Chain A
Amino acid sequence: MKRLCIISLVLVFSAAWVGMPGPEPYTPVYPAYFGNRIDVPANNPMTVQGIQLGRMLFYETALSANHQLSCATCHRQELAFTDGRKFSAGVDGVLQERNTMSLANLLWERNFFWDGRARGLEQQAQTPLTNPHEMGQELSVSAARLQVLSIYPPLFRAAFGSDTIKGEMILKALAQFERTLISDNSLYDRYLKGVYKPTASEAAGIELFYGKGGCGHCHGGPKTYNELYHNNGLDSVSKDPGREKITGASYDRGRFRVVTLRNIALTAPYMHDGRCASLEEVVDHYSDHIVSSVTMSPFIQGNLNLTAEGKKDLLSFLRMLTDSSFIADPRFSDPFKTDRRSVVRTF
């Protein structure tokens, strides 16, 4: 029986290698409380082979102009796919204008970057790959480089039915992999599933977050964000135009996306410009340092004036959102870590 299973598996994988019977559809698994408003474009369905290829490309340094950087350079799994820096440096050493965003539960997101300018992950992925101050390599050059690395043409054939690699396939595979980065196993999830009883401080933090703090207006619900853009009272005149640069509307000055709070304790520094070095500083901002401006969100009514205990409780709740299994999940880890030559055998 065991032998039969192994033979069947070999046959299935062999079939995939030669393009038959085509890539296997992949259905993402997530708790019902996240809802099903997911964003998977009709022309890029998730497949087992597409995701596996996307994971390799995410860690592939051949996609950068200097062969030194991959997506994972700035999106490190152990830091919930951030890099701990205020601004990340690209292939030319130039720093980014905004803080690197964490990656989690992107399956539900429709617009990307701090200003939401990219519609869909496929479009988003193009910027870091080609921007001269990030990975700095045209997609056509990346495709040509992958074409001559023997491991890739068969993987592209398995995922997309052709071993002639095109830039669009690179974007699609990356997007498929990124859509699998689901964080749903934090203490907060266990609390939502009724299998964890929060400590007194955590419970008080949840109450403050959804009650007096009003944090839930933008960060509420199990996903801990809504796809909104707000000026959260950082400056009287925002140096960075934020969404205004995209829309041209003056009321969008200094508006940035409401970020997920999932794994927030791991993703310092904070805000679009990384100005807050710690989570404590973020809580202090909302409690004591709100700066009013014409475009400040009408949902921020000024300082929350939290007590020391209130701040502690809020932090306790925010730390409940750390998902230690997400940051160690082998499905999201570097497939090249052990031995690049063995990668092919692992799929």
Chain B
Amino acid sequence: MIFFVFSVHIVLAQGPSIKVSGEVTKPLTLGAADLAGMKRVTVSMKDKDGNEHAYTGVAVGEILEMAGVTTGKQLRGENLTKYMLVKCADGYEVVFSLAELDADFTDRTVIIADQSEGKPLPPGKGPIRLVVPGEKKPARCTFQVTELVIRYAKE
């Protein structure tokens, strides 16, 4: 009798996703399908080529609300010392205060984008990135976002 032993290399099947954790009441993990099913918004941002480009995705505020982060009327007192840490696949990290992302504080809509000009984002930047309209430097418009972590700033 001959036995064959197969070594199977398992490739993780699930696509990239964003984890939302920290000071949340409902920790989330959102995949591409989840984002596609949420309220979609399109914003415009000037890229390095100097031209405005349309980016489509979900407002970060919407995601934070879904995760039970203190937004809107709850964003007062000590909650104003909270920040959102954005973590990316390449290890890059940037921070926003929650007030920078809240529709009660600002008209600027920061989004988690999965499309640019109606197409999926290019490799290296997608599948999911952060789009921050109106910033002079693009350093917080991060690529390949993997996690949003909400924390209190503590001295």
Contacts and interface: CB of A to CB of B under 8 A. Distances in A.
A83 interface: no
B99 to A, nearest CB: 23
A295 interface: yes
A229 B90 contact: yes
Contact of B90 (A111, A248, A294, A297): A297
Contacts, number: 38
A249 B16 contact: yes
A60 interface: no
B76 interface: no
B26 interface: no
Interface in A33-73: none
A296 B89 CA distance: 13
A251 B89 contact: yes
Contacts of B12: 248-249
A226 B89 contact: no
Contacts of A297: 90, 124
Contacts of A262: none
Contacts of B92: 226, 228
A295 B122 CA distance: 11
B123 A251 contact: yes
B141 to A, nearest CB: 12
Interface in A294-347: 294-298
A249 B143 CA distance: 14
Interface residues of B, number: 12
A227 B16 CA distance: 21
Interface string B5-19: 000000110001000
Contacts of A75: none
A122 interface: no
Contacts of A111: 91
A213 interface: no
A112 B31 CA distance: 28
B40 interface: no
A179 interface: no
A202 interface: no
A229 B91 contact: yes
Interface string B106-126: 000000000000000001110
Interface of A: 111, 116, 226-230, 243, 247-249, 251-252, 255, 257, 294-298
Interface of B: 11-12, 16, 89-92, 123-125, 143-144
16 contacts: A111-B91, A116-B91, A228-B90, A228-B92, A229-B91, A243-B89, A247-B89, A249-B16, A251-B16, A251-B124, A251-B144, A255-B89, A255-B90, A294-B123, A294-B124, A298-B143
Given A257-B91, A295-B123, 7 more contacts: A226-B92, A229-B91, A251-B124, A294-B124, A296-B124, A297-B90, A298-B125
